[in-house]
Amino acid sequence: MSEKMTLEDKLYLDRFKPDSESHLTVINRDFCVNECDEKPCTFICPARVYEWDEEEEIIKVAYEGCVECGTCRYGCPDNINWSNPRGGYGITYKFG
């Protein structure tokens, strides 16, 4: 490999068909602000879907780039509602 690829570069290679609504929702916004210091969703997600917005004090969820592994659901202290994207939407792996 010649030069380091960014995660964005890599995700660009994957095929996504994002639905109009998110299949990932943060259940309790206050919990993120007041009780969750580590915010594991912001680093544990392989596609870095979650980002902490310091100014707005809110977790931003870029569900369009979700690879549907489910890691956030189990890495977060029970504050993410995870459902499968509707049939036909989401990631489609070519190789697997």
Partner 1 sequence: MVEEKFDAIVIGAGPSGLAAGYTMAKAGMNVIIFERGDYPGSKNVMGGVLYRDPTEELISGFWEEAPVERYIIQQDIWVLDDDSVITMGYQDNKFAKKPYNNFTVLRAKFDRWFAKKAEEAGALLITETVVEDLIYDDKRVVGVQTGRKDGEVKADVVILAEGVNSLIGEQAGLHPKIPPEHLAVAVKEVISLPRETIEARFNLNGDEGKTIELVGKATEGMMGTAFIYTNEKSLSVGVGALLSDMVDANMNPNDLLEELKSHPTVAKLLQGGETKEYLAHLIPEGGYHAIPELYRDGLMVVGDAAMLVNGYHREGSNLAMISGKLAGETAIEAKEAGDFSMDMLSSYKEKLDDSFIMKDMYKYKDASAFFATNPHFFEIYPKLANEALHELLVVDGKPKRQKQRKILEKVKDKRSYFGIAKDLFNAWRVMR
Q: Is 35 in the site for partner 1 (CB under 8 A)?
A: no
**How far, rounded to the nearest angstrom, does the alpha carbon of residue 7 sit from its chain's CA centroid?**
13
SS3 12: helix
Q: How far is the CB of 58 from partner 1 (least distance, A)?
A: 20
Pick the closer one to partner 1 by CB: 40 or 58.
40
Cα separation, 83 vs 66, whole angstroms: 12
Cα(90)–Cα(25) distance, integer angstroms: 15
The yes or no reply on residue 59 touching partner 1 (CB under 8 A) is no
Interacting residues with partner 1 (CB under 8 A): 1-2, 4-5, 7, 10-11, 13-14, 38, 40, 43-48, 67-71, 73-75, 78, 82-88, 90-96
